[in-house]
Copies of this chain bind each other. A is one copy, B any other.
Amino acid sequence: MTASTPLQSPSPTEDPLDIEHVRRVLVRLEETIIFSLIERAQFCINAVVYEKNAFGDVLAGHSLVGLMLHETEKTHAQLRRYTSPDEYPFFDDLPPPILPSLSFGRVLHPNNVNLNARLREVYEHEIVPFICPPGDDQQYGSSAVNDINSLQALSKRVHYGKVVAESKFRRDPAAFEEAVRRGDADRIATAITDLPVEEAVLARVKRKADTYCRELTPTNPDVPLADAVATIYARWIIPMNKDVQVQYLLQCCAD
């Protein structure tokens, strides 16, 4: 058992909704996210990789990143990635798993919350220009490979909000019941918000990113990468994670 055993590990001794388990997963995901953003930031923005049909007809209507993401998700779907309750695809036309299913037990209520379309938009048009040097270095394939890694890590972090919300709800259903019954998203958002925890996350991410960026030559001196990573958490990751929590609770906890 590793210190960072993800949700899908069907360990008989560890409850995937236990708040300490959830916390360990989220803390370890910080490395995955920071490493993948550092890797992407060594290449220029290369905006052409996000443009549909930028290379003529060869990309079948996708952008270069879209094609690579789609092909990657097809393979991962066959290897049952999206049967896990903490993995959500960007595409909905994926093949069924070829591996036998794992049993996860009932972790989450059935729901269709998926913020990946918004995440991809934000990533391609706000996060990449925020961390990468401007311009085009023709490293399209390398950029795209790191985009896939970053998008998958960010998606997992954002959608872990479902697990966080389910865990909070089970500990204290009364705190949410009336707001959920009324469909009051603002009140649910207030109930799930814990500002001291958010501040602790941001401080830890900033400290880690400072450490991990220390050896690197800055590629985009206008925005130091360690500061950029903390800002990405504050501006996009934490808010989208909270949106997932609210949408999940609205869908799932009214019964």
A4 to B98, CA, bound (A): 39
Name the B residues within 8 Å of A145 (CB-CB): 76
A71 at the interface (CB under 8 A from B): yes
A188 to chain B, nearest CB (A): 31
A41 to B3, CA, bound (A): 11
Question: Is the Cβ of A98 less than 8 Å from the Cβ of B2?
Answer: no
Question: Is the Cβ of B2 less than 8 Å from the Cβ of A99?
Answer: no
A251 at the interface (CB under 8 A from B): no
Given known A32-B39, A72-B72, A99-B58, contact A142–B6 (CB-CB < 8 A) = yes
A177 at the interface (CB under 8 A from B): no
Question: Is the Cβ of A98 less than 8 Å from the Cβ of B58?
Answer: yes
A53 at the interface (CB under 8 A from B): no
Question: Which of the candidate stretches A192-200, A214-222, A232-240 sits at the interface with the other chain?
Answer: A214-222
Name the B residues within 8 Å of A214 (CB-CB): 211
Name the B residues within 8 Å of A2 (CB-CB): 42-44, 133, 137, 219
Given known A2-B44, A71-B75, A76-B141, contact A55–B99 (CB-CB < 8 A) = yes
Of A35, A43, A100, A133, most B-chain CB atoms within 10 Å: A35
Restricting to A48-71, which residues have a CB under 8 Å from any CB of B? Answer: 55, 58-59, 64, 67-68, 71
Name the B residues within 8 Å of A59 (CB-CB): 98
A31's contact among B8, B74, B80, B216, by CB below 8 Å, is which? B216
A98 to B211, CA, bound (A): 40
A96 to chain B, nearest CB (A): 11
Q: Number of contact residues on A: which range applies? A: 35 or more
Question: Is the Cβ of B211 less than 8 Å from the Cβ of A138?
Answer: no
Name the B residues within 8 Å of A215 (CB-CB): 31, 208, 211
Restricting to A1-57, which residues have a CB under 8 Å from any CB of B? Answer: 1-6, 8-10, 28, 31-32, 35, 38-39, 42-44, 55
By beta carbon, the residue of chain B nearest A218 is B3
Question: Is the Cβ of B44 less than 8 Å from the Cβ of A39?
Answer: no
* Chain A residues near B (Cβ < 8 Å): 1-6, 8-10, 28, 31-32, 35, 38-39, 42-44, 55, 58-59, 64, 67-68, 71-72, 74-76, 79-81, 84, 98-100, 102, 133, 137-142, 144-145, 149, 208, 211-212, 214-219
